Amino acid sequence: MYSIHKISEIVSGTLKANDNDVQVEHLVYDSRRIQHPENSLFFALITSQKDGHDYVEEAYNKGVRNFIISKAPFHTLEGASFILVDDTLKALQQLAAWHRTQFNIPVIGITGSNGKTIVKEWLFQVLNEVHHIVRSPRSYNSQVGVPVSVWQMNEHHSLAIFEAGVSEPGEMQQLQSVIQPAIGLITNIGTAHDDGFKDDHELKLEEKLLLFSSARVVIGPGKWLTKNKKENWLTWGESPDNDFIVSGIQKQAGHCLFTIRFREETCNIDLPFSDDASFENAVSCCCLLLAMGYSSSFITEKIERLHAIDMRLQLKHGINNCLLVNDSYSADLTSLKIALDFLHQQAAGKTKLVILSDFAETGRSETALYKEVALLIRSYQVEHIIAVGDSIGQHLEAMDLPCSLRAYSTTEEFLLHSKTSDFFNQIILVKGARKYQFERVVQWLEKKLHQTVLDINLDALVHNFRICRKLLSPATKIMAMVKAFSYGSGGAEIANVLQYHKVDYLGVAYADEGVELIRSGVRLPIMIMNTEASSFQAIVDFNLEPVIFSFELLKNFEAYIKEQGLSAYPVHIEIETGMNRLGFQPAEVNLLAAHVSQSDYLKVQSVFSHLASSEDPAENKFTFQQAERFDAASNILAAHLNYHFIKHISNSAGIIMHPQLQYDMVRLGIILYGVESSDMPGLELQPVATLRSTIAQVKKVSMGETVSYNRSGKLQHDAVIGTVRIGYADGYSRQFSNGKGKMLVKGKLAPVIGSVCMDMTMLDLTGIEDVKEGDEVIVFGAALPVATVAGWIDTISYEVLAGISQRVRRVYFYE
């Protein structure tokens, strides 16, 4: 699209170019997500925790030859071109803003505290048959996401829809210059990012409205825009002084009826949703469509056909050791790239199979469209394709793709002529337009387990990881503890996400856990906490790194390494400083140091210890004593060894309570899973795991009767009893019996009645209305924290999470 010389001119940079003035088509800033290196321009963005300049060489090794940097001198990489600027983020925004000026099509800008993405996607649903639309992928509304979104604009598009979000004053002006919307839409002003605006909603509104400083028309709720209303502002609401008057609101089961009147047009809307958020989002869509001149009949028809926006990719366990990525509700190029990126991230050595339906994008020929689909398939190295539809199969067949291809006309034909034995040890992306009903394909391929499910929110995991990263010095490494099946959340799946987000080390309890991770495609160094002689072979075969905590273990492992003809094998030395569990005593460290300094067979990778009570302020004195003992031991080892080793002592609570004890690395465990203790509040952690089940049966039981084994639950009143599909074989402890445990049913706590059985638990549902068989029950999650549940039986969150059995299905979500 632009030469490197032209880009240098646009961003006012200093260019050091090679002889090849390539045309740049792709903007990248993440060295992990490079798919078209030969035509990509890498921006070395700098954040509070990461410096993109540290990843220039990685991007170069993947084939990128064009870079925008802000640090001199230039990298001396053969054949590479560099543009030196003062600020790489500003350069990215300048380039996108210049690109935006090359197109004279209607551009809709959307902002607000909530609902931006839903409104954008609903507008796409309504208008994609009459416009070739470019829009923000998913929720790309940040200082980086907006310019990347706008860069997608090309001569084929006839309408653009971009969303913009801000978290503090001073951010929107940059986004305005990039989007330059002609039509503005503000959804609402809520509590999101209140901290950045000091809880001042007027200040937040003022900042958001900067997006529309040059807009022809601005649409929004009257309650926010009536004050200081400008001539080009159009407001909606029930009051007659609004431009769009909303009336006749009737909410029914799964539907909402309402009327919108704007000048001479009246729309009688039957919205297929009844919740307040969907109502407001639909009103925003209707008002914008009316302002753009669409007829009431067009709007009414399209709004009635709106469907829910599922913003999550689901990762599930499938039949025959397969993994499923479920994105079965859309078929467009933007979301395909996102889904393939997630597929690639989670592949972990499995062959990649993609099941696709026909695509349809207005304003572009099928040949051009499927050429782009084929390009993505090549880029992500997909090995197998199953095409479903009238046209996708024949188009892809003509592309001469380096993968197998099977084509079917309909979903029914595919299901009829396929066998479950056709799928083995693959990761399968299921992605199709809604009309193809690919949810049936997902159900067919999904591993059949009972209805108790542990939902794992991978975005929450990444959010918590980033929160922790912000608490650390940029030089401090992170070891993520993924022992005990990642606290019940799934070892390989969690490890692959953490690996993708550049964690430095993984820690597990036993060698077999490490072996499983390596076999699943993890390439990070893995520390084995509980080293056993019986695991020496597995440790060496899979390049795992054992913890050495005693002289006997040291002598035995060293002898094994010598026997194998190896040398300088990496080990971790554990020092006992007060936990009194494992480790060399302080009095043994001199002898230990003398031994390892003379060993040709072992190399000390790290020296560490455990804090016994880092979360308890009352034990600070003891914590500091532990640190002093650790320092003394580390110094002795450092004096004997002629090389550097990593030092680490701090755990999840330690990084918050004792930031001075970060040393070279910290070990993060429960904090990554969103469990926040009372001693470390205010971190805004997000719970990663939600355990849910369903009600198998509801029955009325009379006063005086008993429930469960040993007649342990005697009813003191007539009761409604619900039987839930979870028991102690699933990890729901018998200690929750007889009222100690509770579960959420329809937002209300229902106590356990009687004893918890192996596979079932009974709840007293008395007073909770309209509960029926199949209703969902929350055992723990965001609305019922696992720490609260653990407290009911006087235990800790670790035990509850780690105790969830393997027969409980894990479903992984990625927003």
Q: Which residues carry out catalysis?
A: 483, 709
CA proximity to 493, closest of 462, 527, 529: 462
Taking the CA atoms of 112, 114, 120 and 126 in sequence, report the sign of the dihedral they define. Answer: negative
CA proximity to 128, closest of 311, 306, 247: 306
Q: Are 607 and 647 spatial neighbours (Cβ–Cβ below 8 Å)?
A: yes
Count the helix, strand and coil residues of the chain and give each as a percent rounded to the nearest 5. Answer: 35, 25, 40
Q: Are 282 and 244 spatial neighbours (Cβ–Cβ below 8 Å)?
A: no
Token pair for 468: 């922790």
The number of CA neighbours under 13 Å toward the Cβ of 524 is 29
Q: Tell me 323's DSSP state.
A: E
User: Residue type at 544?
Assistant: L
Q: Are 162 and 139 spatial neighbours (Cβ–Cβ below 8 Å)?
A: no
> Distance (Å, rounded) from C-alpha 360 to C-alpha 432?
11
> Distance (Å, rounded) from C-alpha 719 to C-alpha 706?
11
- Compute CA 783 distance to the chain's CA centroid, rounded to the nearest angstrom: 19
Token pair for 167: 């978290």
> Distance (Å, rounded) from C-alpha 299 to C-alpha 81?
50
User: Residue 405 to residues 398, 438, 591: CA-CA distances in angstroms?
Assistant: 11, 18, 64
Strand 809-814, strand 313-317: pairing: antiparallel
- ω before 546 within 30° of 0 (cis)? no
First-to-last alpha carbon distance for the chain, in angstroms, is 30
Place of tokens 């200082």: 143
User: Can you say whether residue 529 is alpha, beta or left, with left for phi > 0 and alpha for psi between -120 and 50 degrees?
Assistant: alpha
The number of CA neighbours under 13 Å toward the Cβ of 470 is 11
> Distance (Å, rounded) from C-alpha 155 to C-alpha 698?
60
